Chain A
Amino acid sequence: MAAIFQGIGAATALSPTPSNCFDSKKLPLPSRRSLSGRKASFVVVRSDGSTNFGSGSRSQKAQKLITNAVATKPDSAASTSASKPGHELLLFEALREGLEEEMDRDPNVCVMGEDVGHYGGSYKVTRGLATKYGDLRVLDTPIAENSFTGMGIGAAMTGLRPIVEGMNMGFLLLAFNQISNNCGMLHYTSGGQFKIPIVIRGPGGVGRQLGAEHSQRLESYFQSIPGIQMVACSTPYNAKGLMKAAIRSDNPVILFEHVLLYNLKERIPDEEYICNLEEAEMVRPGEHVTILTYSRMRYHVMQAAKTLVNKGYDPEVIDIRSLKPFDLHTIGNSIKKTHRVLIVEECMRTGGIGASLTAAITENFHDYLDAPIVCLSSQDVPTPYAGTLEEWTVVQPAQIVTAVEQLCQ
């Protein structure tokens, strides 16, 4: 469900974009400033109780435009943890911490999946949990995704809060019926009698030569199922926050992790925090172009951003995080500021998240766009095994740089 704006006076003057106006490093942008003043005229209907923005400094109301374009790799938690030193850990450990805290907090939380128990999880996310919580709360299932996802949903109907792990997201295709018909629809067809507070999580995405069937991006297949929420984590900070939020949410949530991001290290706060499930993350404020991305592509974008900054561009990078529903509030504000959008995603070109996002942005913010939306996605091919071919199927930083240059002409 998209958050939609009713723009009052949408026809306020937009200064025409002069060509080649991005050559200079410092840009006087009078028209841009007047834009930010218009923000107050928008009526935004937000979900209730979502005032927790998850991370103090990363405000999405980027009214303070950073006009000197210095490339900084945004350590998103740096500002929050600068004052309170947190602890450093890897992404899979962050997921595990979130999981453990929630299991401690609520005895109804249980985990089921293949090799999550005694083996400790194929990506070590659930290591140690089986010895701590026992076999009934951390369940090793046989290789039967359809039925154990169905069982998770059945258990959720009675009040348990199961977390179903797909060893690889691609395996959850076998459980598509359960996820679509039962998980997504039961709350609706039963008139609200049953809620399904389930979390379905697992690593997806293109890895290092894992082959076509183990490199799938299921967010594009799941995105039209009504009734579910989808989020994608990209840093240890938001991984833990989103995991906790997903477990506490009463809606069914699918949490997309990425195979190559499990070993990212970051410093996260010691105190408890959760991230808002429906909110996007401002990674790098900027002015010239809005780059929307999620999961692993965030890192490709940031790499490209370094190059872009050296070339004189000032990209604004937003990690959309919430794949369903889109956080059109943050995205919209950014578009109103920069007027150019580049979407960088790992999904396939056809029918992917980028395609939906393009449609949503065009529908809502068409008047603010100075150029057509450019969407960089993976090629519509099964992921090859050969390393070089695999590289060519996903978007590389060089392509992002080229796209930004073309967009900003």
Chain B
Amino acid sequence: MACHLRLILLVLSIPFVAALWPIPRGLSNGTTPLKLSSSFDIQASFKNVPSDLQDAIQRTKSHLKTDTFERLVVGRGSVDAQAIAHANSLKTLVLSLNHGAAVRPIAVEVNTVAIDARDESYSLSIPSHSAQATLVANSTLGLFRGLTTFDTMWYHNGGDKYILNAPVTITDSPAFPYRGFSFDTARNFYPVSDIKRTLDAMSWVKLSVMYWHIADSQSFPLQVKAFPELAAKGAYSNDEFYSESDVKDINQYANERGIDIVMELDSPGHTTAIGMAHPEHVACINKSPWTKYANEPPAGQLRIAVNATVEFSKTLFQSVIDLLTGTMMSSGGDEVNLPCWNEDEETIQALAQSNTTIGQALSSFVQEVQGVMAKNGKMPFIKSDMVLTHNVPVINGTGIVVWQSYADAVKVAQRGLRFIHQPSDYFYLDCGAGDWTGNNILGNSWCDPFKTWQRAYSFDPYANLTADQYSLVLGGQMPIWSEQSSLENLDPIVWPRLAAGAEVFWTGATLPDGEPRLGVNATNGVNAFARINELRFRLVDRGVKAIALQPKWCALRPGLCDADS
């Protein structure tokens, strides 16, 4: 008896769980069922619709035909059959731009407008009793975000696509412009098709940046015009590198989906693979014991004190910049190792000749490569330890990637620098898989434990910051480092956890109603779990092998598998 009462209460208390992820910042809805007409169409009310927006419309129309996601309730879609039997049919979605808005391709909005100047806002109105829905924005990018919302809200049953909560009115825009995924394609290689599938999924949760950690000490899979030998000798094989046309293809594919590419050429550390073609530029290459010269094997860093190496690096950066559109780029800079240089004869000699310290050489190297980026109009990014540990000066407008700990964000903010959150203690997707170095039986993951979606979701972008520092937060990103990942487990290790970061940085420090996302007093945990379970099933429906977060029994019964239920 007690059990039955409880079930009834739960059913009544389940909020509107249309699979909207990230949750829109302004949302109201009714309780009227609504179907899509069999002749449903999406039209633009303006002329000269850019081809990438036309393609996006086609993709949405295609999803509305091919998605077979049924609502996550006991009995699934059939439960709603009666409710929608006589529902009104929506015949069209009309897209329009606000007066004065430029009609430009989505890709142009993404790759020519500074990250903090993009307009991703949109308004979506779906009536309960008239045949036409409207989507309005200030840019094609905003229209694209709105289309994404529209095409992830419908449920499938038999031949029908429907919602139960018309009318729906959404006024939405992101809290932070930089919402990213950092992708390491160097420790292990990923084919272009895997990257494209990842970009598709990223666009469904409105992520705006793929931060591409393309090369590292283990391999250099990027074909660069100035130095083709880098990939020829530094890639894992003749099949495992990204040609110039691959990079352009990925760049375009991403931009058309509202995603910018921030290419990271990690330097001066994490560069052993450059030494496979250019050993003259790399100190302590493969030096043993690696634990003394690097954070992981193999050791090797660019000879920052040697002029020829600085010139080589500048040319390398320029050559990579020539490949890419976009307004941002990163020189990385994490985990440089001083003993590597201190014991390197060429470095010792060069420092003696120029009468400089290794610290000065590091500052100078960073300024040189940052200068190349700035000269080309790219906003430079750099890893937080460059600033916090090595006190390297950065040029104006640099973005800092805060990675070691969430607590470092305050220290970066205190220096008045803009930054993105990438804390290993909340966002690292690779943590918790044990140690991967050999002969280390009891070794644990350095950033153990595994970061669950709930852990990432509980992150507060404004934690410990003063109100006047809020404007320094550009957003954040969750990374996958690929020592223990490859195309075999890409989808399951990334999805749906990456979506936790997507909602954190779309919605901001709190949910739209002002409630904390998760935490001691949070009231939205049940709702968030229900929505992310829906997202996970939708991802699987679209061919992304997202992991199960719970037994399906729980996914069908929101709230019954909570820690305290």
Tell me if chain B binds chain A: no
Residues of A within 8 A of B (CB): none
